Structure 1
Amino acid sequence: MTGSPLADAALAGIFGLLVGSFLNVVIHRLPKMLERQWTVECTQYAQDAGLLPLTAAPGDAPQAFNLWTPRSRCPSCGHGVRWYENIPLLSWLALRGRCSACKAFIGWRYPLVELATGALFFACAQRWGWSATTAAWCAFCAALLALTAIDWDTTLLPDDITLPLLWGGLLAAVAGWTSVGPNDAVIGAAAGYLSLWVVYWGFKLATGKEGMGYGDFKLFAALGAWFGWQALVPIILLASVIGAVTGIAMKLASSLREGKYVPFGPFLAGGGFAALLWGPQRIMQAALAVLGLS
């Protein structure tokens, strides 16, 4: 766009910082929005069934809460974040990671998500230039980053992100924006979903417990759509190895959350990022090296 590949990549990186700022909102608010929606639906169902009284007065409506409303506030003191306090990365550094009003610490995740998004957008633009392919892979990275953080926090992989990610991979293959052909993308999506579905039911029948959620099936299907069925084994192998190592480390450090579980979605996403940056063959070699099989 500017005539200089490095300058184009830098512009994409700056845009990525802005997108990363928005992703922080998505990560924080989308799970809360889903919880509110589920509460309303359960209450409505109970009222329709006569299990709960109709307590809401006519005209009552819950306060709007979505990705745009209300404006961002400090969770400690309620201070409204001004526009100049919301500049990606720079504002966090200028404020030294603290609220300008109450001086409460602002988590490291906010600048890290912004920085990671900017770096991934930069890498995509540097690799593919200013093109539809770059736009497609930038959207892929943004969705995967949001899913990673949401799943780690809540063990939820919202359909609002996984399903568009799946369909986006299939459409990108049809449009020729990825190196994966439409047939490989469709087979990859189906194989990704069914493989974890079989593992889920096998584990449940054998133990009576659920080893993963349906969101993991959909996320793996989406990765199959973006990378093709050939990449599924390297991705799942790397995700399993890293997940097992992380789980063992957290157990030894007594940092496992209640229920003694570690969400699998972030490790699947990590396999997806690795496949994007280094390719399925190299991550297969890395996973085998960790297992001592190479």
Structure 2
Amino acid sequence: MEFEVWWGAALGGVLGLLIGSFLNVVIYRLPKMMEQQWAAELAQLEAEKQGKEPPADTQAPFNLMTPRSRCPACGHVVQWYENVPVLSYLFLRGRCSACKAPISARYPLVELLTGALFFFCIYRWGVTPVGFAWCGFSAALVALAFIDWDTTLLPDDITLPLLWAGLLSAAFQWTNVPLHASVTGAAAGYLSLWLVYWGFKLATGKEGMGYGDFKLFAALGAWFGWQALVPIILMSSIIGAIIGIAMKIFSSLREGGYIPFGPFLVGAGLTAMVFGPNAILNTVLNLLGL
């Protein structure tokens, strides 16, 4: 029995490596796809204002499948054997096979992180709908964390399906959260940060966070229930404060001094998945000396 558990978890880890490779594509391309869509919509509105025909779309197809991955330095098309998760990076020694330009270490990092999370989910919940539900949860959070860190965007294409998946998982009893607690958690998660947003904006005239943060917090509320919202927001705030102070000390803050909040919500959400929301709350209280 123990062998079957470890074997299933190992296969889950391999699946996670493959999904992680795909997430690298999502992290890079989805924001660009959004920007292209916004530019096209803006051009159409401008044409309508001027009473002209909307401009024809002459751009080459760009989505999660097309075109094939290329080296950004020389345009070399990445072959399938150069795209094996982690192994290809090690074999190529972190460099393009054509021009020897360095390849970011973040690519294998995303693959390894996703693989480790899938391994944990299948080891804990088995090769079951519950295990695969939490694998999907993990993959979505990994993509959201890196997209938000790069672009300060939390795409609806990920946050909203994640929210609905949490509600459906509660309805099918794939989580330990009753459906009413999941629905309440989603509503309370969105509303709480919405109130914080408007309170901060009215007090300072500035926007402290984006609407994507509301939706991500709502999704976490759907997955863990309303009782987990306070531990998750406390943990994410503490993580954010620590990293923000460290970045300020080492003068690595971005222009404008902003830090996206999404990655810290993701960190707290994954911590809640692994250890449970109550463990988060106990850790926060211990850190505060309470």
Fold match by TM threshold 0.5:
yes
SS at match of 1:233: helix
Deviation at 1:158, TM superposition (A): 0.3
The residue type equivalent to 1:81 in the other structure is V
| Mapping of residues 48-127 of structure 1, within 5 Å | 48-50=48-50, 56=55, 61-127=58-124
Contact 1:185 1:229 in 2 (8 A): yes
Q: Deviations over 1:131-171 (max 9, x none)?
A: 00001000000000000000000000000000000000000
Specify the alignment match of 2:22 in structure 1.
Answer: 22
Aligned-CA RMSD value? 1.5
Specify the alignment match of 2:41 in structure 1.
Answer: 41
The residue type equivalent to 2:130 in the other structure is T
Q: Distance in 2 between matches of 1:117 and 1:238?
A: 21
Q: Distance in 2 between matches of 1:174 and 1:265?
A: 26
Deviation at 1:259, TM superposition (A): 1.1
Contact 1:2 1:8 in 2 (8 A): no
SS at match of 1:4: helix
Deviation at 1:127, TM superposition (A): 0.3
Deviation at 1:3, TM superposition (A): 6.8
Q: Deviations over 1:7-56 (max 9, x none)?
A: 000001000000000000000000000000000000110011018x6584
Matched, 1:161 2:161: no
TM-score when normalising by structure 1: 0.96
Matched, 1:272 2:269: yes
Label 1:49 to 1:284 Cα distance change in 2 as closer, same or farther (>3 A): same
Structure 2 residue aligned with 1:232, among 229, 233, 247? 229
The residue type equivalent to 1:221 in the other structure is A
Tell me, which stretches of 5 or more residues in structure 2 are unaligned? none
Deviation at 1:285, TM superposition (A): 1.7
Q: Distance in 1 between matches of 2:264 and 2:286?
A: 17
| Mapping of residues 116-155 of structure 1, within 5 Å | 116-155=113-152
Q: Deviations over 1:41-79 (max 9, x none)?
A: 00110011018x6584x6x53100000000000001000
Specify the alignment match of 2:253 in structure 1.
Answer: 256
Contact 2:155 2:212 in 1 (8 A): yes
Q: Distance in 2 between matches of 1:39 and 1:173?
A: 38
- Aligned residues with identical type, % of pairs: 66
Contact 1:166 1:222 in 2 (8 A): yes
Tell me, which stretches of 5 or more residues in structure 1 are unaligned? none
